Amino acid sequence: MKLVIEENERKMSESAMYILLGAMMQDKRVNISLTSGRSPRTMYELMVPLVKDQEKFKDIQYYLFDDNPFVGEPHGGNWKEMHELFFDPANIPDDRIHIPSLENWKDFDEEIRQAGGIDVMVIGLGWDGHFCGNCPRCTPLDSYTYCLEFKEKQAVNPTYPDRPTQPYSITMGPKSLMRVKHLVMIVNGKEKAEILKKFIEEPVSNEIPSTVLKLHPNFTVICDKDAASLLNDSYDRL
């Protein structure tokens, strides 16, 4: 694992963006996996004018790694949020966007493998140590993409809100992420300082599912100084 501590959120976002753009410049189909949420917002703001309507990026395919579909609809909030954050502003057509669903989740990993694998995936670190849809005490650490009824997650995560209109959680599992060629985690803000410290210092466990990602052979964690405020100075050189 490589840890990069940047001065602020913008510098963190720039570093992650450069990794993405570097991969996207390859003269072949490139498969990129992106995250929604608060942490990548600045990165997307920086990327949109560089990617929008650019012929050199026409072979880029985009993958979303989780979703909670609404009842009676094919997709959930992740699909909608990613369109608002990046896909719509960057004019990315839907036929270049792939997401696990109730119809395809069993075949999702094989589809990615047949397409050449994920070249770069950017993820965040959840406040409780979750990553993608892999939550504490209910993540099968030996799983590829899987689907859970939300009531199953609720039983082991009682603080999670009810989602009666989104009864299923579909996510790429730990084994799916181990196949990614370059895994990048971005973490920013003082509110993430405690969980980042636990993630780095504690052993692999289902209590903090993200700890399993430290086993990935090409894993980069990029954070700002606020998120790194509880780490020892020695981590600057990891």
Polymer length of the chain: 238
Q: Specify the pTM.
A: 0.92
What is the C-alpha separation between 180 and 71, in angstroms, rounded?
30
Give residue 151's pLDDT.
Answer: 67
Give residue 158's pLDDT.
Answer: 60
Residues 6+ apart with CB under 8 A from 67: 75, 76, 77, 78, 79, 99, 100, 101, 133, 170, 171
Give residue 167's pLDDT.
Answer: 85
Residues 6+ apart with CB under 8 A from 8: 224, 225, 226
Give residue 166's pLDDT.
Answer: 78
Q: Are 181 and 115 in contact (CB under 8 A)?
A: no
Element (H, E) at 153: helix 150-156
Give residue 154's pLDDT.
Answer: 53
Give residue 74's pLDDT.
Answer: 85
List the beta bridge partners of residue 131. Answer: 134
Give residue 237's pLDDT.
Answer: 45
Residues of the chain with pLDDT under 70: 151-161, 233-238
Which residue numbers are catalytic?
Answer: 66, 128, 130
